[in-house]
Amino acid sequence: MLNFDISSITGSADQPEEMDLGPQSLGESVAGKLLLLIVALLMCIGIVVVYSSGAGWAEEKFSDQQYFLWRQLTFAVAGMLLIVFVGNMDYHFFRKISKLLLFVSMGLLASLLVLKLVHIIHGAARWLGFGPLKFQASDLAKYAIIFHFSRLLSEKRTYIKDLQTGYYPMLILLMTVVTLVALEPNFSTASLIALIGFTLMFIGGIRVKHLLATASLLIPIAAVFAIAAPYRVARLVAFGGGEKQLSYQVRQALLGLGNGGLFGLGIGASKQRELYLPLSYNDFVFVVIGEEYGFIGALVILTLFAGFFICGIIISKHAPDIFGRYVAIGITIAITLFAFINIAVASHLLPTTGVALPFISYGGTALLFNSLGVGILVSISRFKKKAEVQARAQALLESKGGAQ
């Protein structure tokens, strides 16, 4: 059974950051390999399910049933290559560039709002790029927050509890990013980034009374912002208004999950994918999994993400330094949080939001950003072993030099 507590991840707030080059535990060694297996399985499931759920929509929009299949396959392969590449890097590279990444992401988010203000972008201002090469700036901002907060929490451990020098600077950075994302508008992603940031601050040693005081101010503001847009009000009404108030999308999602039963209708047999359920290959891809593979298939997906979370916690617990611990827990929370929010929305346990299912939903750049996160987890899990090999080689050279 996993023995987990906050102090085991963060260490004592009075300790300076130091490298732990003790021998790797069996659990730590297995966690990194199991994590790769879980992600590979999720990507393979994603390729199959995206093709199954998106064939009808692809035929309708692009006159090619395999349009989504080949794009998803291409990005899955690119994602695995990225995991291998980043997994062999020194993850401290992201510590060095964390401030740059954060301010670049802020600049990109601000530029989106400017483009919207001058009417170059109409509607939601979320995507940057041209043609097929587009990405959401909020994806970069999410990882930039994780990297830079991990750096600040590891560097400010001696005065992290101080309000002026510890908490306020981090709060200002987080609220700047969250506000820019919320104004796109992308309220759901902004809320999740805020939750990730506050979670990192909590486990990093920020005083709970400071966090509670901030929450008491932000929750009413967030509630007012949420009900300021008619479409968000409609989603809340559909969620809490009973069966008669269900939106078309939610009703079709529940029908799909109900059709699946225990063992599902079989591969490619989904009825809701046939242009009944909008975004069946993206936000509601879990519905197609439940319909085609039944409760058992849905349970497998939940188990894989639970396993991902446990592996991430183990890697975080055994990270060589404080920075690695915070980065690992931040990435783990971010990916699993997005996964369970997507599943909860598809199951009508939360109001409808535009959150994709990591590694499974159609979407290339989101898959690549999540692959970057997995690569960093792999790098953290392997770093201690590489450092041990280098230390032994150095000791051997020194012993030979001394003998001569």
> SS3 for 194-259, per residue?
HHHHHHHHHHHCCCHHHHHHHHHHHHHHHHHHHHHCHHHHHHHHHHHCCHHHCCHHHHHHHHHHHH
Q: Which residues pair with 401 in a beta bridge?
A: none
Q: What does pTM read for this prediction? A: 0.89
Residue 309 has pLDDT above 70, yes or no: yes
**Mean pLDDT, the chain, whole residue set:** 86
Q: Is the dihedral of CA 89, 92, 95, 97 positive or negative?
A: negative
In angstroms, what is the C-alpha Rg of the chain?
22
Amino acid present at 115: L
Nearest-10 crossing angle of helices 208-228, 187-204: 180
Cα three-residue angle 367-69-125, rounded to 5 degrees = 45
Q: What is the pLDDT of residue 386?
A: 63
Which is more confident, 104 or 266? 104
Q: How confident is the model at residue 402 (pLDDT cuts 50, 70, 90)?
A: low
Hey, what are 214's tokens? 């901030």
Residue 279 has pLDDT above 80, yes or no: no
- Nearest CA to 126 among 396, 338, 348, 355? 355
Residue 246 has pLDDT above 90, yes or no: no
Q: What is the pLDDT of residue 391?
A: 54
Residue 209 has pLDDT above 70, yes or no: yes
Q: How confident is the model at residue 269 (pLDDT cuts 50, 70, 90)?
A: confident
Count Cα atoms within 13 angstroms, Cβ side, for 212: 3
CB contact at 8 A, 35 and 312: yes
DSSP 136: E
Q: How confident is the model at residue 396 (pLDDT cuts 50, 70, 90)?
A: low
> Stretch 29-57: mean pLDDT, rounded?
91
Q: What is the pLDDT of residue 111?
A: 93
**What distance in Å separates the CA atoms of residue 76 and residue 80, rounded to the nearest whole number?**
6
Residue 251 has pLDDT above 90, yes or no: no
In the numeric block, the tokens 């989904």 are attached to 270
Q: 302 Cβ partners below 8 Å, 6+ apart? A: 343
In the numeric block, the tokens 């497998």 are attached to 300
Widest Cα–Cα separation across the chain: 87
Q: How confident is the model at residue 228 (pLDDT cuts 50, 70, 90)?
A: confident
Residue 252 has pLDDT above 70, yes or no: yes
- Nearest CA to 105 among 137, 143, 135? 137
**What distance in Å separates the CA atoms of residue 248 and residue 257, rounded to the nearest whole number?**
14
User: Which of 52-56, 94-98, 233-237, 279-283 tops mean pLDDT?
Assistant: 94-98
**What distance in Å separates the CA atoms of residue 404 and residue 400, rounded to the nearest whole number?**
6
> Stretch 211-238: mean pLDDT, rounded?
88
* Three-state DSSP state, 363: coil
| Chain Cα centroid distance, residue 56 | 28
